[in-house]
Structure 1
Amino acid sequence: MTSLLCTEPRTVLILGTGYLGKALAESLRKGGHTALTADMDKQQAIYEADITDGASMHRLAARIPSPHMIIMCASTRGGGEEAYRSLYIHGTQNTLEAFPGKPVILCSSTSVYGITDGRWITEEHNVHPCPGKRGLLIQAEQAVLSAGGTVVRLGALYGPGRCQLVSQYCTKGVALPGDMDRWINYIHRDDAVAALHLLCTLREPPCGIYNLTDRTPMQLGEIYTYLSGLLGMPAPRPEPLPAEARRGFSSQRISCSRLLALGWEPLYPSFADGVHNVLEALEE
């Protein structure tokens, strides 16, 4: 494994310092690397920059040392299609134009697969152009891949201070909408950080697609049964999906075997392992 890693410190530019980007910057710095951060909120990063604005990104490129790697992990914070278009389509184009030839890692989502029958999915599974936010993500992925970059498709990100399923269940006793037998793919923030840290510090740029989920997908009902036994609370009743819902339809089991082959190993192999970390943070 060590033969795959670079031997000199790297300079990594992280675009977006939210829940994931901030933790990644801390991890890289602890590892002896230089993590440059850029965000629209100047209080959250070293540099103020708007990824959706081409002029802003060119100004950023002129101000910073040339990075070895660029990580795009900005978030729409639950925005709709226009927010996705602005961030992923325009933001990706702006980044590639402002930093030509630099290796780029785009943090995408396993939602692009859109599978509903519970089958196992690897990176070899074809995704097809489609309308809506999934389609915009796929377009952004294709732009990065065409430029020789890397796409990391993350499962549902959770960790201390962030888990909608746990917060709704613990505070309101309600379930996420959708069938209880549908498969959910989670990834703990700390495991996501470790995987991205690894990809940033490989000797050769990690071109292509990587699924970033834990080892063990769980069914929604299985998760609530586990939490019910753990907390001594009644399991919530199933909640039907509203007609206008945009989430909750997929049921797929995502394989992370390609990342595992690089030597990455999740600290939390399943949601059942990682949820204790979330509950401890809630108690505090």
Structure 2
Amino acid sequence: MTGLLCTEPRAVLILGTGYLGKALAESLRKAGHTALTADIDAQKAIYEADVTEGASMHSLAARIRSPHIIVMCASTRGGSEEAYRSLYIRGTQNTLEAFPGTPVIFCSSTSVYGITDGRWITEEHNVYPASGKSGLLIQAEQAVLAAGGTVVRLGALYGPDRCVLVSQYCKKGAALPGNMDRWINYIHRDDAVAALHLLCTLREPPTGIYNLTDRTPMQLGEIYSYLSG
């Protein structure tokens, strides 16, 4: 594996410094790489930038040296369909136009598969978007793939100070709608960071689609039973 990794420090531009992006930046810096962070909130990152605004992204490109790779991990935090369109469709287009030729890793979601009957899913499976939001994610994915980039489909994140299932269960006694037999894909934030760190530091920029989830899926009823205990 070490022969597949770059031997020189990398400059990685991370767009979005939320729960995932902040931890990825810390991981890269600890390994001696340069993590250039950009966020709409100037206090959360080195650079202030709004991926939904083309002028803002071109301004960002003018302020920094060309990064080796870009990671798009900004989130709408459960926003509306229009928020998805703005962040993922326009944001992806603006990023690709502002940084032409720079490899892009786009953080997407396993929800795009739209398959909830317990079947094992691989990257080769077709997608069946169950909502307009999933459809918009797929459009953004296609733009990144057409540009020779990488799509990372993540399960729901949990980890230090964050687990939606636990917090909502404690508040309401229920966390997600649906059948207790429903299968759920999750991934620990630190595992997601480790995978993204690896993709960022490969000698050859990665391409294609990668699924990132915990190895053992769980059913909703199983999780509730554990929490109740």
Counterpart for residue 273 of structure 1: none
Identity of aligned residues (%): 88
1:55 has 2:55 as partner: yes
Unaligned runs of 5+ in 1: 230-284
Counterpart for residue 97 of structure 1: 97
Q: How does 1:9-24 map to 2 (within 5 A)?
A: 9-24=9-24
Larger Rg computed on CA atoms:
1
Shift of residue 228, structure 1, vs aligned partner:
2.3
Please give the per-residue CA displacement for 1:70-127, whole angstroms capped at 9, x wherever unaligned.
0000011211110000000000000000000000000000000001321110000012
Distance 1:159 1:33, change over 3 A: same
Q: Give the Cα separation in 2 of the matches to 1:226 and 1:60.
A: 46
Give the alignment's TM-score, normalised by structure 2.
Answer: 0.97
1:43 match: secondary structure: helix
Give the alignment's TM-score, normalised by structure 1.
Answer: 0.78
Q: How does 1:1-284 map to 2 (within 5 A)?
A: 1-127=1-127, 132-229=132-229
1:215 match: secondary structure: coil
Q: Give the Cα separation in 1 of the matches to 2:169 and 2:89.
A: 35
Query: Deviating runs (4+, > 6 A) in structure 1?
Result: none
2:15 touches 2:21 (CA, 8 Å); kept in 1?
Answer: yes
Q: Give the Cα separation in 2 of the matches to 1:221 and 1:129.
A: 24
Q: Give the Cα separation in 1 of the matches to 2:175 and 2:21.
A: 29
Q: Give the Cα separation in 2 of the matches to 1:96 and 1:220.
A: 38
Q: Give the Cα separation in 1 of the matches to 2:210 and 2:179.
A: 27
- Please tell me the residue identity of whatever aligns with 2:136: L
Shift of residue 10, structure 1, vs aligned partner:
0.2
Tell me the C-alpha RMSD between the 2 structures.
1.2
Distance 1:168 1:131, change over 3 A: closer
- Please tell me the residue identity of whatever aligns with 1:22: K
Shift of residue 131, structure 1, vs aligned partner:
5.6
Shift of residue 162, structure 1, vs aligned partner:
1.6
Shift of residue 135, structure 1, vs aligned partner:
0.6
Q: Give the Cα separation in 2 of the matches to 1:127 and 1:184.
A: 17
Q: Give the Cα separation in 2 of the matches to 1:132 and 1:185.
A: 20
Please give the per-residue CA displacement for 1:136-156, whole angstroms capped at 9, x wherever unaligned.
000000000000000000001
Q: Give the Cα separation in 2 of the matches to 1:30 and 1:141.
A: 29
- Please tell me the residue identity of whatever aligns with 1:116: T
- Please tell me the residue identity of whatever aligns with 1:9: P
1:23 match: secondary structure: helix
Counterpart for residue 276 of structure 1: none
2:108 touches 2:141 (CA, 8 Å); kept in 1?
Answer: yes
- Please tell me the residue identity of whatever aligns with 1:97: E
- Please tell me the residue identity of whatever aligns with 2:91: G
